[in-house]
């Protein structure tokens, strides 16, 4: 079997060898807890403070405002529940949108059950939130707005600067989930103008189990994990030193080559989009065509299940064929049969949402791999459609949203 092509990097990435090398000494040599004052502890303490600086540098933050977590889910949960609880004297209304990640939507749902009110704004056919709608939704008792920086499934980059301006004007705390942007596109939290920013190491070649929440000085937030005095009493628990060191190293590596790599991936992304659109019919690009993550491609493919496509690509039967790993819907809900709530929020009918595939690139992705993947995708879809009882060529259900055409149900 030839070398596999991994194009599911929005789910998780391979840990960079330099990142792993940086982590190893903290398992067996400098394995002390940073909370302790003796030499072994100091080594660990210095290591996590260097990681804090590097993480801060990646997003233009002050290192004193970086708090380490176990990943973006914890960061997002913390931001939502922590600000809601800290600000409940002011009000209990929160604004977000229908196409958010579950790690935002679920804590919001939890708060709703406990007396908070939540406004989930719609998104347009490209997945964009309208800043004017955010402004209109703000009430006297609104304490928090949470909008993802870029959608993990369809790659659409939100107008967060504009929303930040509105939030600031109305003195509402603004959280941005940057799990898909940190390490992939230039991020400067000062320029973004938000108050909290979540990130996750394993999305940019760092280890799983490590992330951070940036909390602007002065922002009120109660801890989510409570106990020891770690992280200035804001996030308890023995530091995951190797994980944090890995996050820091990944941040340093990403920052060193951010603009070049972002451009390189954008080229490959657009190559893939162009090739799919020119070689396949009855397909729809999901997400905005240009306001889009450099490494994200998402298509709905009429008449077949995304899961069948994904599995066929990952277990190729032809001799010498290379497995291609992509995803369908959101990796977090894979294994369930629910169609992606994000694709439904775009206005896609459930059948099209079921037939979606996401191709997400990494620094390992090459133009040659992209070419191979697109060819394999086209062949697999051709084969699956030939067997599909529901696919009728040309019975168009869909058109790309950013061309101004909306989805229509097939007649």
Quote the least distance from Cβ 333 to a second copy, whole Å: 6
Q: Does 15 help bind a second copy (rule: CB under 8 A)?
A: yes
Number of helical (H) and strand (E) elements in the chain, helices listed first? 15, 12
Q: Does 36 help bind a second copy (rule: CB under 8 A)?
A: yes
Q: Which of 194, 332, 381, 398 is catalytic?
A: 332
Of 146-205, which residues contact a second copy (CB under 8 A)?
Answer: 200, 202
Count of CB atoms within 10 A of residue 260's CB?
9
Cβ contacts of 7 within 8 Å, gap of 6 or more = 324, 325, 326, 359, 360, 361, 362, 365, 369, 373
Tokens in use for 143? 């304490």
Quote the least distance from Cβ 39 to a second copy, whole Å: 6
Of 335-394, which residues contact a second copy (CB under 8 A)?
Answer: 335-336
Task: Identify which of residues 164 and 310 has a Cβ nearer to a second copy in the complex.
Answer: 310
Is 407 among the residues known to form the active site? no
**Short-list 401, 286, 283, CA closest to 342:** 286
Task: Identify which of residues 20 and 137 has a Cβ nearer to a second copy in the complex.
Answer: 20
Quote the least distance from Cβ 35 to a second copy, whole Å: 5
User: Degrees (nearest 5) of the Cα angle 399, 403, 408?
Assistant: 30
Of 44-83, which residues contact a second copy (CB under 8 A)?
Answer: 70-74, 76-77
Q: Does 295 help bind a second copy (rule: CB under 8 A)?
A: no
Quote the least distance from Cβ 404 to a second copy, whole Å: 33
Q: Does 11 help bind a second copy (rule: CB under 8 A)?
A: yes
Q: Does 140 help bind a second copy (rule: CB under 8 A)?
A: no
8-state DSSP, 265: H
> 3-class SS at 183?
coil
**Binds a second copy (CB under 8 A): choice among 50, 86, 133, 225:** 225
Q: Does 325 help bind a second copy (rule: CB under 8 A)?
A: yes
Task: Identify which of residues 129 and 310 has a Cβ nearer to a second copy in the complex.
Answer: 310
407 neighbors 284 (Cβ within 8 angstroms): yes
8-state DSSP, 292: B
Quote the least distance from Cβ 183 to a second copy, whole Å: 15
**Binds a second copy (CB under 8 A): choice among 2, 27, 186, 392:** 27
Of 234-293, which residues contact a second copy (CB under 8 A)?
Answer: 236-243
What is the distance between the alpha carbons of residues 109 and 91, in angstroms, rounded to a whole number?
17
**Binds a second copy (CB under 8 A): choice among 17, 115, 389, 394:** 17
124 neighbors 151 (Cβ within 8 angstroms): no
Task: Identify which of residues 103 and 151 has a Cβ nearer to a second copy in the complex.
Answer: 103
**Binds a second copy (CB under 8 A): choice among 56, 59, 166, 210:** 210
Cβ contacts of 141 within 8 Å, gap of 6 or more = 90, 91, 92, 93, 117
Task: Identify which of residues 106 and 410 has a Cβ nearer to a second copy in the complex.
Answer: 106
**Window of 123-131, 140-148, 322-330, 341-349 that interacts with a second copy by CB under 8 A:** 322-330
**Short-list 378, 380, 392, CA closest to 307:** 380
**Binds a second copy (CB under 8 A): choice among 96, 119, 151, 230:** 230
Quote the least distance from Cβ 61 to a second copy, whole Å: 22
Of 299-318, which residues contact a second copy (CB under 8 A)?
Answer: 307, 310-311, 314-315
**Binds a second copy (CB under 8 A): choice among 178, 209, 303, 401:** 209
Of 76-115, which residues contact a second copy (CB under 8 A)?
Answer: 76-77, 101-107, 109-110
96 neighbors 121 (Cβ within 8 angstroms): yes
Task: Identify which of residues 31 and 372 has a Cβ nearer to a second copy in the complex.
Answer: 31
What is the distance between the alpha carbons of residues 229 and 210, in angstroms, rounded to a whole number?
19
8-state DSSP, 222: -
**Binds a second copy (CB under 8 A): choice among 2, 4, 366, 392:** 4
What is the number of residues in the chain? 411
Strand order through the sheet with 356-360: 283-285, 296-301, 356-360
Number of residues that bind a second copy (CB under 8 A): 76
Task: Identify which of residues 59 and 313 has a Cβ nearer to a second copy in the complex.
Answer: 313
> 3-class SS at 325?
strand
Dump the DSSP string for 121-158.
Answer: E---TTSPPPHHHHHHH--TTEEEEEEESB-TTT-BBP
Torsion of CA 20, 22, 26, 28, to 10 degrees: 70
Give the catalytic positions in this structure.
Answer: 332
């Amino acid at each position: 079997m030839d070398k596999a092509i991994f194009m599911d990097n929005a789910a998780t990435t391979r840990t960079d060898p330099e990142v792993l090398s940086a982590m190893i000494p903290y398992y067996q040599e400098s394995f002390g807890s940073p909370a302790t004052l003796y030499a072994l502890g100091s080594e660990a303490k210095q290591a996590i403070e260097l990681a804090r600086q590097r993480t801060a540098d990646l997003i233009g933050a002050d290192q004193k405002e970086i708090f380490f977590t176990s990943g973006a889910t914890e960061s997002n949960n913390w931001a939502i529940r922590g600000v809601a609880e800290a600000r409940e004297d002011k009000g209990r209304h929160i604004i977000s949108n229908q196409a958010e990640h579950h790690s935002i939507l679920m804590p919001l749902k939890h708060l709703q059950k406990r007396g908070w009110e939540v406004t989930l704004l719609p998104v347009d056919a490209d997945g964009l939130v309208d800043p004017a709608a955010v402004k209109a939704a703000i009430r006297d008792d609104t304490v928090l707005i949470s909008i993802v920086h870029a959608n993990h499934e369809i790659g659409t980059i939100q107008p967060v600067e504009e929303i930040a301006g509105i939030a600031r004007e109305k003195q509402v705390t603004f959280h941005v989930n940057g799990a898909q942007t940190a390490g992939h596109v230039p991020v400067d939290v000062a320029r973004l103008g938000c108050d909290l920013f979540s990130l996750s190491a394993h999305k940019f070649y760092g280890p799983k189990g490590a992330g951070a929440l940036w909390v602007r000085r002065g922002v009120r937030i109660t801890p989510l994990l409570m106990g020891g005095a770690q992280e200035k009493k804001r996030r308890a628990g023995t530091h995951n030193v190797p994980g944090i060191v890995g996050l820091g190293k990944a941040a340093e590596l990403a920052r060193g080559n951010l603009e070049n790599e972002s451009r390189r991936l954008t080229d490959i992304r657009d190559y893939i989009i162009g090739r799919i659109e020119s070689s396949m019919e009855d397909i729809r690009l999901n997400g905005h065509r240009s306001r889009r993550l450099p490494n994200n491609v998402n298509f709905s493919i009429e008449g077949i299940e995304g899961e069948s496509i994904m599995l066929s690509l990952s277990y190729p039967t032809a001799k010498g064929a290379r497995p291609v790993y992509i995803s369908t819907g959101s990796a977090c809900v894979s294994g369930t049969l629910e169609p992606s709530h994000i694709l439904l929020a775009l206005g896609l009918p459930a059948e099209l949402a079921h037939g979606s595939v996401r191709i997400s690139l990494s620094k390992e992705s090459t133009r040659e791999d992209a070419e191979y993947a697109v060819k394999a995708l086209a062949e697999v879809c051709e084969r699956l459609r030939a067997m599909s009882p529901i696919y009728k060529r040309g019975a168009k259900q869909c058109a790309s949203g950013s061309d101004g055409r909306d989805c229509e149900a097939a007649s």
